[in-house]
Amino acid sequence: MEQFATTVADLAQKLAAILAEQLGFKSNFFQENCLSSTCYLRMNRYPPCPTHPEVFGLMPHTDSDFLTILYQDEVGGLQLVKDGKWFAVKPNPEALIVNIGDLFQAWSNDVYKSVQHRVVTNPRAERFSTAYFFCPSYDTEIQSCYEPSVYKKFSFGVYRQQVQDDVKKLGRKVGLPRFLV
């Protein structure tokens, strides 16, 4: 796990730099703000569920970080939404999945979009995945790299707290729409 975490942490830094460069920025923002102490690895287990179509392993959501790098086993279950329709992501044990998160969407001023996704359960097989979340410290200010900005400036800590408050009050994440200018 340590080797995997180190490898995907390096990959996340490289991908963030490439994406920033594509926007015309040579920035050390990610190196300075997304440290090994602020990013994290999550191992997920989804047991088989006989009531399969009605049960989600993870409800539809977007990730609250800059990037998520995911390894999923051969069972599958990850789905992405595109043009209002859900599509299954075919499992490939030799590939990683990279999702843009909310922070990258805000930082890029909507050039890059956070990916809405969910996990559906399998009626017969248990599913495993490992996700690396590329996050800054809670006090890191997130602001658009372009003007005029679509979003107000906010800290990651304020964003995370708003997401948690919304889930408690509304039963769902609202996310970036709360921070529109």
Enzyme catalytic residues: 127
Say whether the peptide bond before residue 177 is cis (omega within 30 degrees of 0).
Answer: no
For 77, the token pair is 């279950």
Interatomic CA distance for residues 158 and 103, integer angstroms: 12
Interatomic CA distance for residues 139 and 38, integer angstroms: 11
What phi and psi values does residue 134 have, to the nearest 5 degrees?
-90, 100
Interatomic CA distance for residues 55 and 120, integer angstroms: 7
